[in-house]
Structure 1
């Protein structure tokens, strides 16, 4: 089987995109997904996404982590899938699609910016000095002192939290944040992602969690955030009960290249 794919990235968070409207991709072959995402032995990506047709929606987004297994919601992956769907002619400027955490709506601006509506967020939970939220994926947010983020060992610190006793069973993504040094400057974010098990250049559900957590520290909507891979914006409405609604993640999503890969099934 020859697999035709596209490689997309959203602020450096990159994905192997597969047009699976014919439902021919062997989705239960976890080793294949891992191999395709491998940066030395495969195409290389933070995850793999299948675009499938589904009654009642423009399409379904099926997201796999780089470890080969189905993942929870991926915000940057969702934005890339919207851009991919427009490229395929499945949608035009607006869309309604289904992801792991439920229905989503999105739009694409003329400049290529994808604005994705995220799920409402029930609230945030204090974990000692940190904040825990679920923005379609679980996220711990840790605010750091000024000028400390650049030198942080995100892999070591994030992995220690992701596998500690509190989160060991389900796992969590971990976001390290530095507040702006002056008005008008972005919040700086670096993220350790479960499933990838390393730092990624950007995480959409992660910056969403950071923006909501930062709102309790004076940040107002929309929040400008900077990741190693680029800038994103998160807008929202905060409710009196601590929950959030009308949560939108906005940023670029672009095609890097396309190609073909010879798939040998059964080798797991």
Structure 2
């Protein structure tokens, strides 16, 4: 079975073209290929499929085999894959995901896609719809006690749930210890992705992320979008401004537009092709 490994801001996945290959047990395959010692090494598995409602369909699985609804970094890489491999001649492609249809515009250099902008849609702010086990309309600067320490959280869904925590020293956090405590807290019925964010300026933030099902990753596109929305809700950044999100794997530029849609721009790179025996 042939595969391509790609990364967007350090968020790396194994991509399989299901127009040419058949995957019968994607959850088990995701666990196998994601292992960084006994597999290929990745944050998960992404299947590129045909769609009845869009140009292409994304089916993604986390490193633990659980299925994800949406990944912004992976969506950019899919756009690069289909464009670079001649599967479309369009510079704007639509992608079916479990979080709805996303529109992706690509930028090319030397005939190859180097970056892309994804229309991530509108954020979901209602607590029950995120989902969070709470009846309040929004969760902004709400106290949550984890292991005896109080945190102020803001919750946003970008098609998958996120909990944003503002911290001055994100680099010094022991995410491997506190990340699972947020992820599996009873407040979050579907578990949660947690972003720890430092405000650098009104146009720049630093972020680390603990992804449900994968642990700490170098980048998370939906997490960057959710973090910028949270920054606006908390008064740290302005709506409709381009906000640079500094991640361990690179930078993304996020804009929460006045019409409500969130746009994400970032790199996409092919690492290698290979074959699974």
The Cα shift of 1:109 comes to: 1.2
- Alpha-carbon contact 2:123-2:261 (below 8 Å) kept: no
Aligned counterpart in structure 1 of residue 218 of structure 2, from 192, 197, 201: 201
Q: 1:66 to 1:248 in 2, by over 3 A?
A: same
What does residue range 20-31 of structure 1 map to in structure 2 within 5 Å?
20-22=18-20, 24-26=22-24, 28-31=25-28
Distance 1:218 1:68 in 2: 36
Contact 2:123-2:226 within 8 A present in 1 as well: no
Q: Which residue of 2 aligns with 1:113?
A: 115
- Deviation for aligned residue 1:31: 2.2
CA distance in 1, matches of 2:21, 2:171: 43
Check if 1:101 corresponds to 2:99: yes
Residue segments in structure 1 that go unaligned for 5+ positions in a row: 240-244, 263-268
Give the 3-state SS of the residue equivalent to 1:192 in structure 2.
Answer: strand
Change in CA separation of 1:225 and 1:29 when aligned onto 2, cut-off 3 Å: closer
After TM superposition, the structure 1 = structure 2 runs for residues 10-89 of structure 1, keeping only pairs within 5 Å, are 10-22=8-20, 24-26=22-24, 28-89=25-86
Q: SS in structure 2 opposite 1:116?
A: strand
Alpha-carbon separation, structure 2, partners of 1:30 and 1:183: 40
Measure, in 2, the Cα distance between the counterparts of 1:100 and 1:88.
Answer: 24
TM superposition shift of 1:30: 2.5
**Superimposed CA distance per residue, residues 201-237 of structure 1 (whole angstroms, 9 cap, x where no aligned partner):** 0000000000111113231321111000000011122
User: Aligned in 2, Cα 1:238/1:154: closer, same or farther, shift over 3 Å?
Assistant: farther
SS in 2 for 1:176: strand
Contact persistence 1:74–1:136 (CA under 8 A): no
Q: Which has the higher contact order (CA 8 A, sep 6+)?
A: 1
Partner of 1:249: 264
Q: Which runs of 4+ in 1 moved over 4 A?
A: none
Equivalence for 1:155: 176
SS of 1:177's partner is: strand
Q: Which residue of 1 aligns with 2:191?
A: 171
Counterpart residue number, 1:142: 165
Q: Secondary structure at the match of 1:170?
A: coil
**Contact kept in structure 2, 1:23 and 1:52, CA below 8 Å:** no
- What is residue 210 of structure 2 aligned with on the other side? 192
What is the number of residues matched between the two proteins? Answer: 248
Summarize the Cα distance change of 1:110–1:136 in structure 2 as closer, same or farther, 3 Å threshold.
same
Closer, same or farther: CA 183–164 of 1 in aligned 2, 3 Å: closer
Deviation at 1:29, TM superposition (A): 4.7
* CA distance in 1 between partners of 2:268 and 2:226 (Å): 20
Contact 2:202-2:237 at 8 Å conserved across structures: no
Q: Which residue is 2:149 aligned to?
A: none
TM-score (norm 2): 0.85
Answering whether residue 240 of structure 2 is matched by residue 226 of structure 1, we say: no
Deviation of 1:238 after TM superposition, in Å, equals: 4.4
Indicate if the aligned counterparts of 1:65 and 1:71 stay in contact, CA closer than 8 A: yes
Partner Cα distance (2:64, 2:52) in 1: 29
Name the CA distance, whole Å, in 1 between partners of 2:26 and 2:180.
Answer: 26
